[in-house]
Structures are given as C-alpha cells and as structure tokens.
Amino acid sequence: MKTLTLNEAAQFLKMHPEEVRRRAKAGIIPGAKVGKCWVFVEDDLVAYLRSLYATPRQALQVGHEEKQLCHSVNVVRRGGLVSPHQAASELDALLQLKIKPKHRNSTTS
C-alpha cells in the first residue's frame, strides 16, 4: 500500500495542491492529516477517481429486448404542474362568484 503526500496526490489527481487540500479537509477526497501533513493512500485515490466516472444512462443503453420501466397500470398521479389554461379557468370561476348586493338605504323626501 503506497502513501502519497499532498503534492504527490495533487500530481496524481491532476489538480492544484490547494484544491486537493481543501477537498480533503471537506471530506470529499479521502485523506488524513497526520500532524501538519496530509497523507493519502493511493488505492483510496484510485477509488475516488473511479467514483467520478460517468454512469451509463438509461436512454443510451441499446438492446434488442424491450424494457418496461413501469409495471403498474394502476398509478395515481398527484401534484404536478397546472397548465396556464387550467389556471385561467379556475381564476375565471372564482371571479364569477356572485356577490350579494349591498342594501341601499332608500328614503324619499
């Protein structure tokens, strides 16, 4: 198991040493501060790099079999966006609510 200094880890990761130090301090990059110096295990840095690899996307997978993502035919849809037309219709309905006319005091002189 090989250990690396901060500068060696930065060179290995192709990053600036200060950026490696900042990320190690934040716990993003695996490393330990022993005394005043940062120490990195090469195998941990390799695992860190591999964790950054892009994962294959579902849309990019090409196959001969048809995949069905949703097996449920009894799905209840909740929430979501309201279309502008629906929102306008609801607003129109609210604006058309009948308001009781105020009683006027009518006295004739």
* Residue ranges covered by each domain of the chain: 3-51
- pLDDT above 70 for 68: no
DSSP type of residue 36 = T
Q: Would residue 83 be called left, alpha or beta, if left means φ above 0 and alpha means ψ between -120 and 50 degrees?
A: beta
Across 1-17, b (16+ Cβ under 10 Å) vs e yields: eeebebebbbeebeeeb
29-53 pLDDT, tens per residue? Answer: 999 999 999 999 999 999 999 999 9
Tell me the pLDDT band of 80, cut-offs 50, 70 and 90.
low
Predicted TM-score (pTM) of the model is: 0.51
Which segment of 21-35, 38-52, 94-108 scores lowest on mean pLDDT? 94-108
From the options 1.20.140, 1.10.10, 3.90.550, 3.90.25, give the CATH code of 3-51.
1.10.10
d(CA 42, CA 44): 5
